[in-house]
Structure 1
């Protein structure tokens, strides 16, 4: 107990200027933009060696260049997380380059919204394949490098969920089901791998300002299996006609009165992976600006 306290205090002091994750190795999926990119940059700033993974390999390489330009260490591994060969390929690249793995951040994902009565099997299945099956397969592939009996190194898994997974959301039965499954996945890992010193937690985000919450009319999209999927949220049209007759603005339901930034979202992942959370496992951290309290 005293040793753990000393370790945490050391990381908080100026005696460890190299960072909270100094010398540790982290895989971050969906790391070319948004929350994933911010997380990768934050991890690198705190001394981690980062494996930047994304469907868009060119953007992943750009994040690696950002990290290296700032004096950090990173490699890019492009590819679809749901591809059959992806887990073995990214684990091999990580071990070949760095020789170990400390943290696995399952962040990759997207939304494909439809109302229940119009949603096809394919639309439902593709979200579960990316948000549930893919993280499970990657976690399983990483098992030999995380389940190390007697190791004192900081090791963790952080799975990204959403308030849609905790409370449901209109038009998102596929996404809500997938993100609810992620919570159960983290709790199960925490129970199975706790004896190996591996912590597993979930971050459930509310409204974070990324391409998934931007105006759908902006045209952002993702291509999965040759199919182009539009990203974003439909925004209501501006009121027309007599301004006095227009409906009053809807009050912001978020107590902090704003959406979160990708950096704020990434900081929550950094906290859970860091020694500051050394006795936190099986937890779901809601990052919502107070929404839902």
Structure 2
């Protein structure tokens, strides 16, 4: 599906990002392996090359403007084009809101949300130039949100806000970039990564590989087939959507949309709204529970 296409995967030195890079390479793509550290990126490049694929490392901070531009330039210099951007890089600094520091908030929002925007912005500028030159690309952006961002997660307020922002950014970008031949979708994956294994003993136990050799639903490689498909020309009609993926299960997640309403036809008085709100909420869908809420 992706033979000859050029793909950037951010945060590809380990975990889900590494799985994406290997899966795209196995599907015939040329891969730019981005990571904040040189050694993990180079190791993934070596693994791809040893398997007969083509890859190059791009070491840098995804939330740094110049590093984001350099990442795109690496793809163009090494492979002559860019077709797919997979925004995956991120980390956590978990703490309850009443204990969360300003630095912890800023760091997580910066890497996740700004880090998604920076790569998107530089890649989109390249594709817009292509479109204006009469060469409409079949370009793809796949962002990485989270179930935490969609439903909330106790003790992860900074991460939740960033991942919710990524889901909204995906919808926004899909609307703005479609005329340039770019689709934009997001995934909300559940898999065993350094982030999830470090989230406490209960989470680590849930994420552990099965000892009996049965299907490992938390293997990061389970996430990548959807991303590889979304990055391919076959996915040209799918844009502005958020997919959850865990093990062998894929679902599409509907975002904010208008549900039950009541129109008086004139201004409401505050004192009459109690029964109205009660009626609306009784008819509305029940929200998904927040992870970790009692």
Unaligned runs of 5+ in 1: 1-19, 215-231, 238-248, 251-255
Unaligned runs of 5+ in 2: 207-213, 252-287, 290-294
Question: Secondary structure of the equivalent of 2:244?
Answer: strand
Structure 1 residue 151, shift from structure 2 partner = 3.4
Question: Secondary structure of the equivalent of 1:145?
Answer: helix
Q: Which residue of 2 aligns with 1:114?
A: 95
Change (3 A) 1:56 1:195: same
Q: 1:281 aligned to 239, 243, 256, which one?
A: 239
Q: Does the CA-based 8 Å contact 1:161-1:180 persist in structure 2?
A: yes
Q: 1:261 aligned to 213, 219, 224, which one?
A: 219
Structure 1 residue 83, shift from structure 2 partner = 2.7
Question: Secondary structure of the equivalent of 1:260?
Answer: coil
Structure with the higher fraction of residues in helix conformation: 2
Q: Does the CA-based 8 Å contact 2:84-2:141 persist in structure 1?
A: yes
Q: Which residue of 2 aligns with 1:125?
A: 106
What is the CA–CA distance in structure 2 between the aligned matches of 1:276 and 1:163, rounded to whole Å?
26
Structure 1 residue runs of 4 or more that deviate by more than 3 Å after TM superposition: 150-153, 256-259, 288-293
What is the CA–CA distance in structure 2 between the aligned matches of 1:115 and 1:98, rounded to whole Å?
45
Q: Which residue of 1 aligns with 2:66?
A: 85
The equivalences for 1:132-211 within 5 A come to 132-147=113-128, 148-149=130-131, 150-151=134-135, 153-206=137-190, 208-211=191-194
What is the CA–CA distance in structure 2 between the aligned matches of 1:159 and 1:152, rounded to whole Å?
21
Q: Which has the larger radius of gyration?
A: 2
Change (3 A) 1:154 1:123: same
What is the CA–CA distance in structure 2 between the aligned matches of 1:83 and 1:144, rounded to whole Å?
16
Question: Secondary structure of the equivalent of 1:47?
Answer: coil
What is the CA–CA distance in structure 2 between the aligned matches of 1:277 and 1:257, rounded to whole Å?
27
Q: Which residue of 2 aligns with 1:225?
A: none
What is the CA–CA distance in structure 1 between the aligned matches of 2:196 and 2:10, rounded to whole Å?
19
**CA displacement, residues 31-86 of structure 1 (integer Å, 9 cap, x when unaligned):** 01110011001101111110000012111111111111111111001122123421
Structure 1 residue 276, shift from structure 2 partner = 3.1
Q: 1:59 aligned to 33, 40, 44, which one?
A: 40
TM-score, normalised via structure 2 length: 0.76
Question: Secondary structure of the equivalent of 1:51?
Answer: strand
What is the CA–CA distance in structure 2 between the aligned matches of 1:257 and 1:51, rounded to whole Å?
30
Q: How many residues align?
A: 240
Question: Secondary structure of the equivalent of 1:26?
Answer: strand
Cα RMSD between the aligned structures?
Answer: 2.4
Q: Which residue of 2 aligns with 1:40?
A: 21
